[in-house]
Every structure is written in C-alpha cells, then in structure tokens.
Amino acid sequence: MNNLKLSSEVWSRLELQADKGEEVLRLFAVDIERSRLFFASSAGFLYAAQLSSPQIEGARDKGLLPATAQLIDLEDGDSITCLEYIMEKEALIIGTSNGLLLLYSVDDNATEIVGRVEGGVRFIAPSPDGDLLALITGFGQILVMNLDWDLLYEMPLDDLPEDVDVPLSGDHSSDASISWRGDGKFFASLSMVNDSFPLHKRLKVWERDSGALHSVSESKPFMGSVLDWTQSGAKIALVYDRKEEKQCPSVALFEKNGLERSSFSINDAIDVTLEFLKFNCNSDLLAAVVRGETFDTLKIWYFSNNHWYLKQEIRYLKDDGIKFTWDLTNPLKLMCWTLDGRVVSYKFVWVTAVTDNSIAFVIDASKVLVTPFSLSLMPPPMYFLKLEFQSAVRDMAFSSKISQNHLAASLSDGSLCIVELPPLDQWDDLEGQTFKIEASYSGTEYGSLLHLSWLDSHVILGVSHFDEDVRTGYYLHEIEISCSEDRSPGSVTCAGWHAETSHQISLEGVVIGIAPNQLISRSAFVQFDGGKMFEYTSKLGGLQRCDDMAFLSSCPWMDAALVGEKPLLFGLDDNGRLHFERRVLCNNCSTFSFYSNSGEGMMTHLVITTKQDYLFIVDAGDIVHGQLEQKYGNFLPVVVRKKTGESENVFVHLWEKGAQIIGVLHGDESAVILQTPRGNLECVYPRKLVLASIFNALAQGRFRDALLMVRRHRIDFNVIIDHRGWEAFVESAADFVRQVNNLSYITEFICAIKHEDIMETLYKNYVSLPCINGDKSSKTIIDGDKKVYSVLLSIRKALEEQIEETPARELCILTTLAKSSPPVLEDALKRIKVIREVELSTATDPRRKSYPSSEESLKHLLWLSDTEAVFEAALGLYDLSIAAIVALNSQRDPKEFLPLLQELERMPPLLMQYNIDLKLERYESALRHIASAGDSYYEDFTNLMKKVPELYPLGLQLVGGDSCKRQQVLEAWGDHLDATKCFEDAATTFLCCFCLDKALKAYRSCGNWMGVLTVAGFMKLGKDDVLQLARELSEELQALGKPGDASKILLEYCGDVDGGVSLLVDARNWEEALRVGFLHRRDDLILVVKNASLECASLLVGEYNEGMEKVGKYLTRYLAVRQRRLLLAAKIKSDELSLGYPDDETASQASSNFSGMSAYTTGTRRGSSASTTLSTSTRGRGRQRNRGKIRAGSADEEAALVDHLKGMSLSEGGKIELKSLLISLLMLGEEDTARKLQRTAEKFQLHQIAAVKLAEDAGSTDNIDEQALTLDHYTQSVRKQVLNSDAFSWQSKVLL
C-alpha cells in the first residue's frame, strides 16, 4: 500500500571531447568501492568521473560533471563494444569489435592487451564474486575464463544444425547477453533456435563450475537479448515479442529450471521495443527502457499481492537514447545517462498511499486505485473505485477539508490533473466505478511536477525541473486551481479544471520534500538537501529560512502536525533516524504517522514502528515537554521494561517482521493500519489509542459513542465511571441513559460495575492521557460500596424518568437492585410482589402490559443473585407465599424449606417475625418483636440480650419504666462488661443498679483505688475493714509499678510514714519525700532521702557519660555508611552510563555489601538504685527506648542509626524527674553534686541533638564534607540555638 515517489533528481553534464553530435556515449561501468563512473564513447574516449557527495548536494543544472578523458588507442575500424570494471584488478576490462581484450588501469593510465578473441567481443559479464569472466564472441561462442586470463571452458551460444560445428558469421549474435545469478553458481543466456519462423529463442541456464547446461526453456518469441537474473536468484526476467499476436510486449519471469512462473504486459503500444531490463539490488523493483516512435520511457515496476504495479514512468526524447543502471548498494537509487552526456541521478522513496483521512490512493501506471479504509479494508489490486488518467501518474497530492476532497496528479507527459471527490458519507454509490480524468493542463510548461502539496482547496505547490536552452534548473510553482463545470453532489468532478501559475521561484538546490503548514493559510515548509528548512508563504511570495525547524540530515519522509498553536515538523532519514527540531527523537524508526482523537485535526499521538518490529504510541505532550527518554527509553523495549516495568501502554510487538504503518484511522476508530511484506493489510487497535478515544468521547459528553467503543474493544466498562470519578458520573447518569437508549447495553454496563477504581489499578499507566485534563478527583481511597450503590441508584432513577415503562425496563431496574452493594433484594422482591398482585387481580390493569411476568422477573433476579440471599430476603418481608415461590424457582428441595415455612405459618405473627429475624440474624428487629410479644416471652427477651450484648442499650429502652426489669437488665449488662474485662464500665453499670459489692470488685480489678475506697464508704465498712482494704490496695499498687499511688494510701489511710516515704523515693518524687519527712520531723527519713538522691545522681552521671560515648559511636558509623553508599552509587551510575542498566538485584546486593564491623554490641545500660533498701531500675525512665536492633550492612542501616540517635533523647518524664532531683539536692545542700549532674545531663542532651542534626544534614547531601560535619562543630552551633529553649526547661539557673 505504498507509492514510489521521486525524492530528488540531480542533473549534470559530461563534457565530451568531440563536437556536439559527432560523439555519443555508448557504454557505462561503475566502481562502487571508490564511487567512480566510467563511460566509453563512440569516438574511443574513456571518461572517468568521481561521484562525490559535494557534487550531488551542490549540483546545478548544466553543471559539469568533473571527469577525465583518455583516448583508447585502437586500430582503424576497431571500436569498443564492452566495458566492465573489475574490482579485484582495480581496472577496466574493455572488449573491442576486432576481438581485443584490454585491461585499462585508470590510476596508472596504462592499457594492457590481455587476450584476443576471434570474431570480436560482443558481451562481457563478470561473475558476482569477480573471479570469472563470461564472454560472448562474434561467432556465437561463450567463453569463461579466470582473472589470469586462462580459458576454463567454452560452448556455443545458439543451437546449431547437426552438420555445423562453428557458425560462419557473428552478425546474428550482436545483441547477445549473459546474466549471472546473485551467488555466482549459475548464469543464463538466450539462444536462437534454427529452423523456426518467426525466429524463436530459448533460455539456457549454465553451471559455473563445469559449463554444463543445467536447464533449457521452451522455444519462445523473446525480444532481443533482454535478460536479467534477480540478486536473490528466484526469477529470471525476459521479454516476449508479441507483435504476431498484435499485442504489446510483456515481461516473463522464469525459474532456474527453465519453467515460466508468471508474466505481465507492459501496457504500451504494439510497436515499442523493450531494452535494458534490470532488477535493483533488493530484487523488488524492475526497471526497463521502452523505445517508442516519438519518445523513450523509463518504467519501474513493483510486485505485490501477485500483481505487478507500474510505479514510475519517466519520459525522454527519442534522440536522448536513454540508458540506466541501478545503484549496486542503494535499492532506491538509479542513474540514467543520454547519448550527448547528460547524467541524471534519481533517488526514490516509498511513501504511504494512505492519506490523513484514511483513503488509499495506489498508483498503477495511468490508474489510481482508491479505497476508503473507513468503508472497506481491502488490499490492492482490489479497490473501491478507480481513476484513469491519460498517461502514467508520477506524483499526487490529496486535500481533505470539511466537505471537499481534492486530488492533484502529475503525469509523465507533463500534464496536471485535478479530481474532486464527494464526502465519504456519499461514496456508497461509487463502489466499483471507473472514472476517466481529463487533464487540466497539457504540455510542457511545468515540466514534470514533483512534491505536489495542497496549500488550500484552490492552490497547489509543486517543484519542476527544466533542461532547456531557454531556462534550466529547479522551480517552485504556486498554481491556482479553478473549475468551469457545475458540480453535482455525490459525484466525482473529473473535467473542466483549469490551472494557472500565480507565482514561480527559481530554486538554488534540490528539494527533498514539501509539507503544508496547517497553522498559516497558503503556507508550507520546503526541505532542501541536507535538511535545510525554509517556509514558503503565498502572501510574501518567497522563502524564509527556518533554522529552528531544520533537520540534521536529508529526510525524504517529512510531515507537519499541529499541536496546540504550534506546527511540529517531523522527518525520517534513510538511516532510520526520526528528526524533530534539530534533534533526533528515535534512532531506529522505520515508519511514522500521526493520530488525532479530536475532530479539529490536532495531533494527539505520534505512532512509529521501529526496525526491531515494535509499534510505539507517543503522546504529543511527551514530545513537546521532552520526556521521551524518561518514558520511552530511546524506543528500545528492554530499556522501557527496565525503567517502567510496564510495556503495554508504551509499545506493541508486531506479529510479522517488516510490517509498516501505512495509515491510521482517526477519532473514535483509533486504529493503525499496517501492511506486511506479503502485501496483506492488518488493522490493529493499540490500547493506548483506544483509551484516548474513549476518554475524549467522555470528555465531550458522548456516552453512547464511548460505550460502543468499550464494547467493541473489550475495555472495562468502569472507565466510563472512573475516568473523572464516580461522583461526576452520578451527576451525568441521566444523560448516559438518554444517549445510550438501549436497555441491553445498559444492563451489560450495570453488571460490569466494580468496587475498585480501575483508573488506579487496571489502567493506572494511562491516567496521564491528555483528555483527562486533571478533572478527576484527587481522592486516593474510594468507598467501593458507596460507589456501586450511588451509581446504580442514579441509573435506576434515570431509567424511571427517561425510559417508558416496558418489560425490558423493569428487568433492567431489577438488575440495578440486584447488583447494588449491598444488594437491595427486598426492594426487588417488593416490585415482583406488585407484579404478582397485578397478575392475580381480576380487574383490567393497564400496567399489565408494561411489566414482565412475575415468574420471568423472579428468574431474572435469581440469575443475577445468590439464591440463598434471595430466599432470605423473601423471608425478611414476612411474606411466606413469596418465600415459597422463590424457593420453588431456585430449585431448592421441598424437604428443606416446606417444614420451615409450615412451622412459621402456624406461629403467631409476632413470634413468626421474631423467629425469622433470628434466622436472618436481624437481632434488633427480633428483640423488638419478642418484647412486643408480652411478659410470657420475657425470658427469651433476656436470653437474646445475653446472646447479643450489643442489644442491652435497646433492651433498656424497650423495658421503659419497669424498674424491676430495668435493674435486671443493668445487672446482666454489668456482668457482661465485667466478664469482658471492661471493669470501669462494669463498675458504673453496677452502681446504676445499686450492686455495690460487684462495683467495688470491678473497681479493684481495674486498679482504681479511689473508686474502691469511695464505694467502701458507701457500704459503711468498719475502720478495721477499711485499714485492711487500704493495705491490700497498697500492696497491689506496688506490684503494678505505681509506688506514688501506694504511698498516698499508706500516708492517708494507714498512717505509715516510713512506708510512705520509702514508696515516694521509689517513685522518684524527691520533693514530696522531703516534705513528708519534714512534716513529721523525722531526721532519719530525711537522711534516707538524701542518701538515695546522691546515689541516683551518681548513677545518672555515669549513664549520661555512657550515652555520650554511644552517640559518638552511632554518629561515626552513620557517616562511614553514608560515605560508602555514596561512593557505591556513583560507581553504579558510572557503570550504567557505560554498560547500560544493571539488574536491580545486583544493585541491591552491591549496595548492602558493607563491612561487618558493628558498634552496637558494646556497652549496656546499667540499672540504678535509689536507696540502699529499695532497688529499682532506671532503664528507660531518663531516655526513650531504642527502636529495635541495628543489623550492620543491612539496606536500612542508615535509617536505623538515625532512629537510634533520635530515640536517645531525654523523655518528658525523665526531664521532670531530673528537675525534681536537682531541687532536692539543692535543698539538702549538695550543690556540687547537683551542678555536676546538671552539666553532665546538659552535655549529653546537646550531643544528642547535635548528632541528630548532623545526621540529617549528611543524609540530605551527596557530598560528605569531613571538615564541616563534625560533632564538636554542631554541638557549639546547637548550644547557641536551643540552650534557652523549652527542651532545657528542666535546668536550674542557679547551677548554670
């Protein structure tokens, strides 16, 4: 589905030695290694020209081709008949009519006679490997020799009569030729058949090694000696002369075994002759020179889908005597030369035959096969309609506006044709028709227009070349188009067109391509050789250079796309590099195209295929914002998977090697059309484009179109709900139902609704699509039940309001009830109950036609829901008849449900409802029903509350003002709370029902000593009982680690001063202990407090000193680990840049391989005793506890070290105890001890705060400065900042 476009043509002229008309070029040879051309002329001159890149890029018309000329000294009457370049000898082999074989060295300018052949040399064909030469002599003999000029074997070319061994004359073999197979193992020739009339020939295939005849074809009327064997070796091309059949010549393809495979007509005049048949180096293009009466033609055919297409036709004057040769390495480059020395280099490119609106225009000679892919997806040679022109089409351009479609075609005879096609929705009647197109202008005024491009519906831009005495060179034409005929709607307008040049510019270089500028009217971008870019504007009438949009090299494939308010220019060069704004987007691109999901023609996605057969979908925003490397990894699948872990939203692996993009279907179609090398067409729908189209339709409020796309492409229906949040969909549910207006589609949609937000799960990687535009709610947590319930409720309301009453609507509403979360089965059964009542009523009810049958409705509900849940919902209605119908339709065993229903039917209504509620676990309803049943069921009432304790509050409400029942309920509730260890609540509940013994027990169980003693007061216990209770409570509180509370009981209720002071010391309540001692004037107790405080101060000093040592160790280890990790990260990054991306597992393992040394096993915290008689631990009271063990070398070692440093800070409780101890020491006259303790604690706290700040600063930088990151430096800095803050409020100013 491609057309062969002429990308550039470079003209030059070889200056001949003789006067004009006295010398012509006859033969040609090429040195591919050194890019040299050789020509032999009729005057015996040998011309050598260097084909260099500057000559091509700067070529001007009538520019001379730099060449050297050397006269070959021959005998009188002798002439050069053959010329070939032998790479192994770095010399030319020349054959003459007198039989000389000359070896001419161009560099040395020396000629050597290497042999002589009787009868003259008529043809020379070197083998592909250059080791052998095959010659045809004038006597019709085939000679094969090596490069030492030794004859290996010879055989006759033609079939001779039995009595003739050697032909007497060589005149009949003057046009003989030989063609080697690509691998050099065989060569072929044409041999005349004697005694045949007309004179026929046979194809003969010879073996290289022995010269034996491998195969012979049947006798055929072959034309001349035109013969060529493809490089692939699959086909041998020959030409049939069919004048006897009064038909034009045809090209036949033979196999190595001499059998004909296929043939095709060249579709020309009967009397033409075909010469110089030659395949290109890829064997996919076949070129030939066709000699006619008035002009010669260079034709190029291409084979696809078992059909030969004439893709290019270039005409020359008869006197030019055109000849050509394909480039030996570039399959799309061809060189022609004329007899008078003009040399033309043609460069072709394959361009897609599909336009932006997905209409295919395939060129085949003078026909254009038209197929709109939106109506019919068929590969050529099939077509939807056909356009026939008066001569072969060389180039064409298509313009599609809102209601106008125009096609411009440049023909090989120099004509320009215009065709207007109707809008696509009016093409149905055109299928299968053929339209003959008249030329809008005939003649040679334009030359042959190339690079046609529509600027608008009435203006065409094109480039032509002239090689005349009057004017020469390249010209840019702006052509105005008008039509004199009336146009009828729905028809093809193919006549009455007029073209007139409104502006013409002489060009200074070779034009590579033209792309219209969609932003500015009548403007286009013109690319010259080398990627230089100019902008042509009709109003200005000239070219303006655009360096910011230029390419880095020539890009034969160029196109412009509109993104926002800016045109973007893309170009693809011969090396697969995709260029954009003087940079390369992709280095391995094979084809590219644009996709737009809007009707405004704005490009939203760039679609490319790579040489590795991957299809990439690129967001236009990623190109504009320069995010290609981050998201697409230079379009290498391995890199994309490594970076993102996902691939489906980035690229698609093509199923067949070599498949290329030929077009896209824009808008809701969201398809990419690919053509495989075999010629067949495939249409793929990349998920990214499909979702973009769906989101775009939803953003425009086109719910029906979005739903149809979701169904067609099997996308999750929830995208319709979740793309902007379910709350937004609920507001638009009425529009959704109204637009879809198809209850089957709506039912399918309802059944697919999920709790999850699929834009955060299934399509998470597509949420950056531009059509979302940030409208979606930023909520990250979604209530799935609320989503489903709200969406279905809105749809149900919309169905009732928008859709008329029909059985299908009722079934759809039942679906919304069944699929709700949770299912609203009772409401559904109520609707079915109404339907059943309508059926059973004897009166004529108009609603009967609007409802389905109750049986159908019930079966529909059972199909959507769990049958057990429906049965339970039917029971919940307390309608046993509905429950029985549900059970029967759900195929339940009657032995299971009939006894239950019969038993329920025999019960009183309230008791029946109570038992149903118990079965359905609707306990609140059951409690209400059993409470209403009377006092005879009071025991069931209380048992239900004991079984379900959550019912106690409701039970209290139901018993009302009955004080006896109320106390029973409260006592039972308190027993339940006591059993579940809710002692505080249990005690309060017991107090409400005056169960004081139980309340006291509950308070004692939870350690509330004040509540216990208060309740004891209510109980009016004796003094001794209270004293005994107080001592027991004191012991219990001591066991629970509450010495402060225990000391209060001993002092206030027991009068035990010694015990109370001892417990206050245990509680670190130093000031209170001193107060009590002085209150009772007990010097011995004051001494106990003094000794305990001194010992505690000593232990705390030691503990703070040990803490400072640990802070230093932790910080040193942290800095070492951080430094090593930074060094390893730098090394890994360096390796990535040089070797690619390492495996994640390797990087993780490398980052954890640190030294095994650890600073966490030395030093343990010692316990401290507050007095000689009471031993207690200070572990964890002064500082916070550590947060776990640190594993040296682990991946989270840095974070663990910082957490440990933070955990060593002074706790709030520790600060209070420290302040109390300092005040007590001052009261006891131990000022020096207090000062030492305060300074040590201050130093420790400063070290800990400084270490944490240092670690945080080191963690936020990638460069460790050992001079700046020191603990002493940070300690001094912290001292100035925080010493007077609340963190040091525990200090006593007198001790500073």
Q: How far apart are CA 736 and CA 732, in angstroms?
A: 6
Region 963-972 average pLDDT: 86
- DSSP string across 978-1004: HHTT-HHHHHHHHHHTT-HHHHHHHHH
On the 0-12 / 13-18 / 19+ scale of CB atoms within 10 A, 627 is: middle
DSSP β-bridge partners for residue 594: 606
- DSSP string across 457-492: TTEEEEEEEEESSS-EEEEEEEEEEEE-SPPPTTS-
Q: How far apart are CA 961 and CA 966, in angstroms?
A: 8
Give the three-class secondary structure for 735: helix
- Of 149-163, 337-351, 699-713, 1112-1126, the least confident: 149-163
pLDDT at residue 599 tops 80: no
Q: How big is the chain by its Cα radius of gyration, in Å? A: 50
pLDDT at residue 643 tops 60: no
Do 38 and 92 touch, CB atoms closer than 8 A?
yes
On the 0-12 / 13-18 / 19+ scale of CB atoms within 10 A, 967 is: middle
Q: What is the per-residue pLDDT for 1291?
A: 82
Nearest to 620 by CA among 705, 692, 706: 692
Q: How far apart are CA 1058 and CA 241, in angstroms?
A: 136
Do 964 and 942 touch, CB atoms closer than 8 A?
no
For residue range 449-489, what is the model confidence (pLDDT) as tens digits? 888 998 888 889 988 877 665 567 788 888 888 887 777 77
Q: How far apart are CA 100 and CA 90, in angstroms?
A: 19
pLDDT at residue 445 tops 60: yes
For residue range 176-233, what is the model confidence (pLDDT) as tens digits? 889 999 899 999 999 888 766 667 889 999 999 999 999 999 988 888 888 999 988 8
- Which run of H or of E encompasses 110? strand 110-116
For residue range 219-245, what is the model confidence (pLDDT) as tens digits? 888 888 889 999 888 899 999 988 888
* Sequence-ordered alpha helix ranges (H) in 491-646: 620-624, 628-632, 637-644
Q: What is the per-residue pLDDT for 1010?
A: 83
Give the three-class secondary structure for 879: coil
Q: Which residues contact 1023 (CB under 8 A, 6 or more apart)?
A: none
- DSSP string across 263-329: EEE--S-TT-EEEEEEE-TTSSEEEEEEE-SSEEEEEEEEEETTEEEEEEEEEEEGGG--EEEE-SS
DSSP β-bridge partners for residue 885: none
Nearest to 124 by CA among 155, 157, 159, 81: 81
CA torsion through residues 397, 400, 406, 407, sign: positive
* Single-letter residue type at 241: D
pLDDT at residue 1150 tops 70: no
pLDDT at residue 1088 tops 80: yes
Region 1162-1168 average pLDDT: 34
Query: Please, what is the Cα angle at 586 between 581 and 589, to 5 degrees?
Result: 120
Q: How far apart are CA 651 and CA 634, in angstroms?
A: 12
Do 200 and 163 touch, CB atoms closer than 8 A?
no
pLDDT at residue 1254 tops 90: no
pLDDT at residue 106 tops 50: yes
Do 639 and 628 touch, CB atoms closer than 8 A?
no
Q: Which residues contact 953 (CB under 8 A, 6 or more apart)?
A: none
DSSP β-bridge partners for residue 672: 664, 684
Q: What is the per-residue pLDDT for 237?
A: 94
**Residue 600 pLDDT level (bands cut at 50, 70, 90):** low
Sequence length of the chain is 1296
Conformation bin of residue 442: beta by default, left when phi > 0, alpha when psi is -120 to 50: beta
Region 686-702 average pLDDT: 91
Conformation bin of residue 178: beta by default, left when phi > 0, alpha when psi is -120 to 50: beta
- DSSP string across 997-1048: HHHHHHHHHTT-HHHHHHHHHHHT--HHHHHHHHHHHHHHHHHTT-HHHHHH
For residue range 1182-1217, what is the model confidence (pLDDT) as tens digits? 555 445 567 777 777 888 888 888 888 888 888 888
Mean pLDDT across the chain = 83
pLDDT at residue 1141 tops 70: no
Q: What percent of the chain has pLDDT over 70?
A: 89
Give the three-class secondary structure for 884: helix
Q: What is the per-residue pLDDT for 1185?
A: 46
Q: Which residues contact 541 (CB under 8 A, 6 or more apart)?
A: 503, 505
Q: What is the per-residue pLDDT for 38?
A: 92
Higher-confidence position of 1177 and 615: 615
Give the three-class secondary structure for 409: strand
For residue range 909-958, what is the model confidence (pLDDT) as tens digits? 888 988 888 888 888 888 888 888 888 888 888 898 889 889 888 888 88
For residue range 653-686, what is the model confidence (pLDDT) as tens digits? 888 888 989 888 888 888 998 988 887 888 899 9
Q: What is the per-residue pLDDT for 135?
A: 93
**What are the phi and psi torsion angles at 109 (to 5°)?**
55, 45
Q: How far apart are CA 762 and CA 609, in angstroms?
A: 26
